[in-house]
Copies of this chain bind each other. A is one copy, B any other.
Amino acid sequence: MADGLNLAIAGATGAVGAELIKLLETGDLPVNSLKLLASAKSAGKELKFRGEPLIVEELKGDSFSGVDLAFFSAGAGTSREFAPTAVKQGAIVVDNSSAFRMDPDVPLVIPEINPDDARAHRGTIAVPNCTTIVALMALYPLHKAFHVNRVIAASYQAVSGAGAKAIAELTSQTEARLAGQPVKQSVFPHPIAFNVLPQVDIFLESGYTKEEEKFRNESRKIMHHPTFRASITCVRVPVYRSHSVALTAEFAEPVSVDHARDVLAKAPGIELVDDPGKSEYPMPITSSGKKECAVGRLRIDWALENGLAFWSCGDQLLKGAALNALQIAELVLR
């Protein structure tokens, strides 16, 4: 690796892939070569890296020969099929999909929270779900200070979490509604323009969606907190980019707003935006394109003992996916 790293991106033509390419252009990693991989459908497409054209190659079993590290962001099916092969060929895999997140042999890592887990990897490291990341970036520093017992949350999730087609669907539906035309949907089960959908991902036997279950299970694994109790309602909103989460947390220790603000102001990767008198709080439009997650609306919760209510926003394509993956790569390659 003296001459730099040989990297690959599986899912290079997707929304997260595009962000990864941009982050690698300006990041600290010394890139010797970058292999852009995608399905046969996208192979041959030309993308740019540092101003130079790069041709997208078809993702195949032998794509990872000579690759030091491969980012996967092409869905759980692709990760399950190709990540083990990539590891066998000597690559470290940083996987954005849900394929291996709950696998006990695969670390699930937010570098600001559990970097040591990443260092103990056996080839594959998983990136948590975007909503989990945006929520835990705010919750974990508070957990370290006050010890969290339980959280009740509700999310406001942007359409770009569902990919490029979902972005186009929000635009075309919005245009249709404004023009008084009928609205067509294909990505979401119902119209998303001027509507909210209390469903992200599929429903489970429990009545929760997969997205909602992920929040609880992934949080327990990342925080090493197996008794953590959490319930969330995950809701898709007509926003292009950045997820928001309203959280109410019950702590073992007494909590004050001043102390909590102090903790968050010092937390890595967090921007404290909390001046209600000036109507300053995190919002999707101000979080989009930023690397930090923003936290605000801190107040003593009226319903729980030692409770704190707060509001977290983050760009789910950056810290919620591509940036978190890159940070993991930097951590294990350093």
**A284 at interface, CB cutoff 8 A:** yes
- For residue A205, give the distance in angstroms from its CB to the closest CB of chain B: 10
> Which of A51-59, A63-71, A194-202 interfaces with chain B?
A194-202
- The digit string for A254-276, where 1 denotes a CB below 8 A from any CB of B, is 00010000000000000000001
Point out the residue from B156, B174, B178 that lies within 8 Å of A237, measured CB to CB. Answer: B156
**A152 at interface, CB cutoff 8 A:** yes
In the complex with contacts A154-B154, A154-B246, A237-B196, A191-B301 CB distance below 8 A = no
| A299–B152 CB distance below 8 A | no
**A18 at interface, CB cutoff 8 A:** no
A299 cross-chain contacts in B, Cβ below 8 A: 206-208
Number of identical monomers bound together in the oligomeric complex: 2
With an 8 Å Cβ cutoff, the count of chain A residues facing the other chain is 57
| A233–B297 CB distance below 8 A | yes
**A187 at interface, CB cutoff 8 A:** no
- Give chain A's interface secondary structure class: mixed
A311 cross-chain contacts in B, Cβ below 8 A: 198, 233
| B178–A277 CB distance below 8 A | no
> Which of A22-30, A127-135, A302-310 interfaces with chain B?
A302-310
Measured between alpha carbons, how far is A230 from B248 in the docked complex, in Å?
11
Measured between alpha carbons, how far is A235 from B216 in the docked complex, in Å?
23
| B302–A216 CB distance below 8 A | yes
In the complex with contacts A189-B279, A190-B285, A207-B257, A297-B246 CB distance below 8 A = no
Measured between alpha carbons, how far is A206 from B199 in the docked complex, in Å?
32
Measured between alpha carbons, how far is A248 from B220 in the docked complex, in Å?
20
- The digit string for A212-225, where 1 denotes a CB below 8 A from any CB of B, is 00001000000000
Point out the residue from B244, B246, B300, B304 that lies within 8 Å of A206, measured CB to CB. Answer: B300
Point out the residue from B151, B195, B246 that lies within 8 Å of A233, measured CB to CB. Answer: B246
In the complex with contacts A174-B174, A178-B175, A207-B257, A152-B303 CB distance below 8 A = yes
| A283–B231 CB distance below 8 A | no
In the complex with contacts A178-B171, A196-B239, A152-B283 CB distance below 8 A = no
Task: Name A195's closest neighbour in chain B (CB-CB).
Answer: B285
| B303–A191 CB distance below 8 A | no
**A281 at interface, CB cutoff 8 A:** yes
Q: List 10 A-B contacts (CB under 8 A).
A: A154-B246, A156-B156, A175-B178, A191-B285, A199-B279, A207-B300, A208-B299, A231-B248, A231-B309, A235-B244
Since A207-B257, A230-B303 are in contact, a sample of 13 more A-B pairs with Cβ atoms closer than 8 Å, ordered by chain A residue number, is A150-B304, A154-B246, A156-B235, A156-B237, A171-B178, A196-B244, A203-B277, A231-B248, A231-B304, A231-B307, A233-B311, A237-B238, A238-B239
